[in-house]
Chain A
Amino acid sequence: MVRALSTPEPEQDSVFGRMPVLPGEREYGTVAAHTTCFAYAIATWCFLTGGYVAELVGAVEGAVCLVAGSLIGVFVTTMPLSMACQRYGLEQMDACKPAFGQRGAQIMLIFYLINMLGWSGLILVMFGNGLYNIAAALGFEPGHGVVGAGVALGLWLTYLIVTRGVHLLSLANSIITPGLAVLVVFMMYVLLYEHGWETIAAAQPLAPGPTPFINYMIAFELGIAAGISWWGGIGFLARNTRSTRNAIYPEILQLGFSGALVCCIGLFSALVVRSSDPTEWMVPIGGVFLGVLALGFVALANVTSTAVSIFASGLALRHVPGLHAMPWKRLMLLTVAPCVPFVFWPHELYDLGDAFLAYNGTMYAPIVGIVFVDFYVLRRQRLSLWAIFERAPSGAYHYTHGFHWPALASLVLGQGLYLFLYDPFTGETHDLFRLMPASIAACGVPALTYWLATLVMRKAATADRNAERRLIDPNI
């Protein structure tokens, strides 16, 4: 995303809008794809993820769950989506239209915005907590209202950045990404040097449930959800790469593997400091001076991470017909508005962070499975760009009033199945959850039902073969 924001105008149609990106416009070769994915992967929400897993399991089990879950989550997400986005220069919302229909794909937009704005709110509370802990480390006695005020300040700074200073955001990110990498290495060094691996490995989880195996499975589930959460960013990365390998391998290695390693640093820190809140780790790990410095740096990183999410959400909102031409500042105001509740209930919403992380699996796992079957099995990796950009009812991907009901019904089934196996908000699990992670089931079963439904209807797979090679009512 750092690279993505190096050009200031959000209206630049191919790279920043929905126009399919031509091979000659694509910027990421092998090295650029890896570095951009690495910059994506190292973000402050990795610390949050590690903290959530520390509540359930210890260091070794947590690291296994985070690395394995993240790799699997990124793998199942990237294989269909990146292939389609890379081949046709599409962003992910458009790549979902063959499966879900012209209007049905806009439901993905709702999930995408929940994902982006939810993370933004959590990171802004982390920013507010950071200010609170900086004040506390310097000897002040801040009231808890500081956190809400911090969220408001973070929102305001974010709005300033995304409306006036995208150059500034690009510059800040070019400093913050390497800075975060240095911080992660520093944290790992201090953890190993000061405490040693034996202490880290022996540390007990912070707030485990009564059954160790269920805790382990939930931690694995959180790892998969962290991997699947990249759904929203994968299209942008893939469509800007020059080869299929450059789209797939960097995403698996950097988003899946490197991102999980950063989550592991968060896990180890949380276990040693005995807190899942990343802003409470820095002073105990680094001392007052270095701790406050690190906290200030993480606070700044939180604002830029939020700005990136808000910026991407604003671009996504351009899909909504009434918002195509809305002035950017007004659109940004509309985009930050859903984060306002975090100003008034920061602690209550922050405490729901682990449930929110798992809910990303609920939202995206069925989509991933359905798109997988649609792209590989039904369409044999061939989409019709004419149909994707055609709004007219005669378009091949218009289906029934713009909705492809087999896919949407399978999506609802998958989300219901996920909640049946594991409810992230109550923490309740079904006995079958011991055998199968909810994300995997919610990915596989809708994929199967969608495939069977289209076999019966025999429509989706053949629809685009007859697509007209002209646009009647372009949806751009």
Chain B
Amino acid sequence: MNPTDPGNLRERELEHRIEELEALDRATFGHFSAWDWAACIAFAFVLPLLGVWWFAP
């Protein structure tokens, strides 16, 4: 196996990235709390459905 072959370099780079990402804790990417979920569900699902129901002919 030639370590300088572009294909092998890509594979090594991929493995390095996978190891780094798998090792990260979820908190590294910030929290998405139950309040965030509630806000998204209310604003982007429940309220739109109520609006559609309210304005239906």
Contacts and interface: CB of A to CB of B under 8 A. Distances in A.
Interface of A: 13-14, 19-20, 22-23, 60-61, 64-65, 67-69, 71-72, 74-76, 79, 83, 86-89, 212-213, 216, 220, 242-246, 248-249, 252, 256, 381, 384-386, 389, 469-471, 474, 476
Nearest to B26: A87
The contact size tier of chain B is: 20 to 34
A71 B43 contact: yes
19 contacts: A19-B10, A19-B13, A23-B28, A64-B51, A65-B52, A68-B49, A69-B48, A71-B44, A71-B48, A72-B48, A76-B45, A245-B30, A246-B30, A248-B32, A248-B40, A249-B40, A385-B21, A469-B22, A476-B11
A389 B12 CA distance: 12
Given A86-B29, A87-B26, A385 B18 contact: yes
Contact of A72 (B10, B15, B24, B44): B44
A248 B36 contact: yes
Given A61-B57, A213-B56, A87 B48 contact: no
Contacts of A83: 32
Contacts of B31: 244-245
Given A20-B21, A72-B44, A89-B17, 8 more contacts: A64-B52, A69-B48, A216-B57, A252-B40, A384-B22, A389-B18, A471-B14, A476-B10
A386 B17 CA distance: 10
Contact of A87 (B29, B44, B51): B29
Given A252-B44, A385-B21, A470-B15, A245 B57 contact: no
Nearest to A20: B17
Contacts of A88: 21
B44 A474 contact: no
Contacts, number: 102
Contacts of B44: 71-72, 74-75, 252, 256
Given A243-B30, A474-B14, A216 B56 contact: yes
A79 B18 contact: no
A27 to B, nearest CB: 15
Nearest to A243: B30
A82 to B, nearest CB: 10
A79 B40 contact: yes
B55 A64 contact: yes
A13 B7 CA distance: 12
B5 interface: no
Contacts of B48: 67-69, 71-72
- The DSSP consensus for interface residues of chain B is helix
Q: Which of B22, B26, B31 has its CB near the most chain A CB atoms (within 10 A)?
A: B22
B30 to A, nearest CB: 3
A298 B41 CA distance: 35
B29 A244 contact: yes
Nearest to A79: B40
Contact of A75 (B24, B36, B40, B51): B40
Contacts of B20: 22
Task: With a 10 A CB-CB cut-off, give which of A76, A245, A246 has the most chain B CB atoms.
Answer: A245
A467 to B, nearest CB: 10
A381 to B, nearest CB: 8
A72 B50 CA distance: 12
B11 A75 contact: no
Contacts of A14: 17
Contacts of A74: 44
Contacts of B15: 470-471
Contacts of A89: 17, 21
A75 B46 CA distance: 11
B32 A245 contact: yes
A243 B29 contact: yes
**What 5 A-B pairs are tightest by C-beta distance, nearest first?**
A68-B48, A243-B30, A75-B44, A244-B32, A385-B18
B28 to A, nearest CB: 6
A22 B52 contact: no
B7 to A, nearest CB: 9
B40 to A, nearest CB: 6
B5 to A, nearest CB: 13
A167 B7 CA distance: 28
Contacts of B40: 75, 79, 248-249, 252
A471 B11 contact: yes
B13 A72 contact: no
Contacts of B21: 20, 22, 88-89, 385
Contacts of A470: 15
A94 to B, nearest CB: 12
Nearest to B18: A385
Contacts of B55: 60-61, 64
Contacts of A248: 32, 36, 40
Contacts of A60: 55
Contacts of B24: 23
